[in-house]
Structure 1
Amino acid sequence: MRQQGNLIDTDELRTFDAVATKRSFSLAAVELGASQSTVSQRIARLEKRLNRTLVRRTTRMVSLTPDGEAMLIYARSILAISHEARLRFARPGLKGVLKVGIEDEFARTRLPEVLGIFRAQFPDFGLRFVTGRNEHLHDVLRSHEVDVILGKSHSDLASEPGEATLWHEQLVWIGHTSLQLGSSDPVPLVSYLKPSLTRGLAEKALLASDRPWVDAAECSNLLGVLAAARAGLGVMAIGKSFRKTTLAEIPEEAGLPTLGKLAYVVESNAVSSDSAVGAFRAVLSEVAKRSADKEHHDAAALPLG
């Protein structure tokens, strides 16, 4: 039996992934910044390495063979591991403790992913973090109790020094499924205590639509606000991707106004240039990109009609 050579050539795997995605050698060449002949040669070398035909190519179309479909799964896994390894070893080793502030809603949903990535890339580095409302995070940043925060911002507000937007979050109205709200009923509002950016946007939207409301419940933290909403006391505003399955978006028949979007921003002290801060910001950016890609993929997968 002829022994096959090394299967791990990332240039060939990356080219194969591009051809499989684009279903075109010419489009893959454009994406990779290579010539079409180079793309063809890399695919031919990979097929020779495997002793299998991976790609069917005619004058009108490019498709994968069953072996090609199977190999694509391995190729993408290998490329992902290679990418993570480059990220891990391209940065200098870090030791010490990074102090981080994380906004409540993010802390309850995506923080474990961030911590896992950071820990994998910097196993000798410690994290000390606080979670809480946006206003509190800015207070602890200004007092230098933390090095970097992930908080909220709004397009109507001027950017702070050292602030960078990671993604925009659509705000939605949510409440318990048992809550019945007519289009002319006063809105029972569940919200944070003032000052609160999310509460301010909710009240602004209600005022602009001439919709009356009553303060059904107020709390200083997210756990309390969610508890009140789950108890059916009223409706609350929250980022769409942070909505929990125990609460549902309020149907259009309730006539609630559109809330708009908030920006999630990462901000560090202007005097801070620590490499650990830059590394944590990079991890946050990576998670934000993954979330955006997943949201785009999920939206594209929805049936039309």
Structure 2
Amino acid sequence: MMRKFTNLQTDLLRTFVTVVDLRNYTETGNILGRTQPAISLQIKRLEEVVGAKLLKHEGKQVELTPDGQTLLGYAREMLRLNDRAVANLQQAAFLGTLRIGLPVDYSIEYFQSAIAKFSHENPAVLLDIRCYRSRELLAALHVDDLDMTIAITDEMPAPHVSIYWSERPVWVCARDHKIDPDQPLKVIAHPDGCFYRKRMIDALDTEGRDWRVSFESLGVAALQKAVLDGMGVTALTKKTLLPGMRVLSASDGFPKLSKIHIGLFYKHIKMSDAALKLIEQITEDVSSFRLPTHARAR
């Protein structure tokens, strides 16, 4: 017996994603040029097609159901492919300015290189690249001060995430660094609000171990140098380890750290042709960069 396939219409998916991004039916209608009742009917139609409740109302807020969360990642990807196909067929010019966020607390060098490659291949696109902590980058995206960002967050899936993956930081020190068990552990860290710092402190506090911050900096390069200079221990991902560093494990008295979650975030309704092309390139590049624990937003 031939399998019956269900087709998801892109106009219904676009309405769904826009409602999720804006959390408001009326604003979605204004953006898409439809009335609020028409938006409600489209969401109802999509729910009928997939056979599941996708959105729920909590007071004035629109929230995703578990089934809605599952569909969201696929919907973003389908719309991205649709819009890129149309742009290519129409030979759209990749013009304009892209405001991109990169986190200082992750492998910024890799993504900076990917974006530089895009810039060389698309000289007509102006790039505005900002490097901050992940919290500030996500806040800037929320108020439309950024078009897209790579960022770390505590939980996944998260609002506006397109793709994401997880990595477990490791404890590191200089190769010949000696740790005095009778003294508080010297910790090298980003300032308060950093996900790495929180994981280190939570792990040490759980173990009941004394510690103090001996070196603090926003930039990962400064932390790496402080480690190599023997100023203490820190947490890094394996991609940011440097020659001369030693990984510390449970046998050294260092508990396993919780994973961090990294994602590519953007609001689909704000995407220009240039942004869609860069997102496509980053999505392809990430497949060779991420760990096998990658998951698509659901």
- 2:242 is aligned to 244
Q: In structure 2, what is the Cα distance between the partners aligned to 1:184 and 1:165?
A: 44
Shift in Å, 1:102: 0.6
Tell me the CA shift for residue 103 of structure 1. Answer: 0.9
Aligned residue in 1 for 2:131? 131
Contact 2:105 2:194 (C-alpha < 8 Å) held by counterparts:
no
Structure 1 residues 221 and 256: CA distance shift in structure 2, 3 A: same
Question: What TM-score, normalized by structure 1, do the two folds share?
Answer: 0.59
Q: Is the 8 A contact 1:175 1:234 kept in 2?
A: yes
- Aligned pairs for 1:1-305 within 5 A: 92-106=92-106, 108-119=108-119, 121-154=121-154, 157=155, 159-181=157-179, 186-269=184-267, 271-292=269-290
Secondary structure of the residue that 1:207 maps to in structure 2? Answer: helix
Distance across 2 between alignment mates of 1:263 and 1:247: 24
Larger Rg: 1
Report how far residue 217 of structure 1 moved: 1.9
C-alpha distance in structure 2 between counterparts of 1:230 and 1:147, whole Å: 36
Match of 1:11 in 2: none
- Over residues 253-289 of structure 1, what are the superposed CA-to-partner deviations in whole Å (9 max), with x where a residue is unaligned? 4210101311111112465233333322222221210
Instruction: Please name the residue that 1:68 is paired with.
Output: none
Q: In the TM superposition, what whole-angstrom CA distance separates every residue of 1:111-159 from its partner, at most 9, and x where no partner exists?
A: 34312442355343221101122122223323432211101022xx364
Q: 137-146 vs 182-191, which deviates more?
A: 182-191
Alpha-carbon distance in structure 2 between the residues aligned to 1:171 and 1:184? 25
Q: What is the identity percentage for the equivalent residue pairs of Structure 1 and Structure 2?
A: 17
Deviates more, 1:254-263 or 1:138-147: 138-147
1:173-204 CA-to-partner distances (Å, cap 9, x unmatched) read 11212211266764211111112221111111
In structure 2, how many angstroms separate the alpha carbons of the residues matched to 1:104 and 1:130? Answer: 10
Indicate if the aligned counterparts of 2:156 and 2:261 stay in contact, CA closer than 8 A.
Answer: no
Is the 1:133–1:221 Cα contact (8 Å) retained in structure 2?
no
**Greater relative CO, 1 or 2 (CA 8 Å, sep 6+):** 2
Q: Per-residue displacement from partner, 1:34-79 (whole Å, max 9, x unpaired)? A: xxxxxxxxxxxxxxxxxxxxxxxxxxxxxxxxxxxxxxxxxxxxxx
**Contact (CA 8 Å) 1:173, 1:236: kept in 2 or not?**
yes
Task: State the aligned residue count.
Answer: 206
Q: Do the aligned residues in 1 keep the contact of 2:100 with 2:129 (CA within 8 Å)?
A: yes
**Which segments of 5 or more consecutive residues in structure 2 lack a partner in the other structure?**
1-84, 293-298
Distance 2:117 2:266 in 1: 20
CA contact (8 A) 1:165 1:263 kept: no
CA-based RMSD: 2.9
Task: Report the equivalent of 1:7.
Answer: none
Post-superposition shift, 1:99? 0.8
Note if contact 1:192-1:199 (Cα within 8 Å) is conserved in structure 2.
yes
Alpha-carbon spacing, 1:213–1:144, altered in 2? closer, same or farther (3 Å): same
Query: TM-score, normalised to structure 2's length?
Result: 0.60
Which secondary structure does the structure 2 equivalent of 1:189 belong to? strand
Contact 1:107–1:131 at 8 Å: present in 2 too?
A: no
Contact 2:107 2:239 in 1 (8 A): no
3-state SS in 2 of match to 1:129:
strand
